[in-house]
Amino acid sequence: MTEHINTTAAVFVAAPFSPSGDFTVQAQIPQGSKARVDIKGRADANAPWVVLGTIRASTAPPMLRFAKCPLVCLDMSGNGDGKSIKAWSGE
């Protein structure tokens, strides 16, 4: 799996990536944290980003699977308490 997020920042936007097929995103968000990782996608570099799914501390298991998407970005927000948040993707 490729690590895209490893931060204690309040917000963090990872660099976009292009999966070659169906892909999975897994996140590590401590219980009680209000942080969330939005998995965003877009069909073309000129298209707007849309949220495909969201992982929160309460998401069990903290993993989501998606069909191939040309461009994907992981967007973490809500980490006001500065906890360690991590997220990975794999195909």
Domain map (residue ranges) of the chain: 2-80
| CA dist., res. 10 & res. 67, Å (int) | 29
Answer for the pair 88, 55: CB distance below 8 angstroms, yes or no. no
Instruction: Report the DSSP beta bridge partners of residue 38.
Output: 54, 75
Nearest to 85, CA basis, from 25, 33, 15, 41: 33
- Report the mean per-residue pLDDT for the chain: 98
Tens digit of pLDDT for each residue in 50-89?
999 999 999 999 999 999 999 999 999 999 999 999 999 9
Answer for the pair 80, 11: CB distance below 8 angstroms, yes or no. no
Q: What percent of the chain has pLDDT over 70?
A: 100
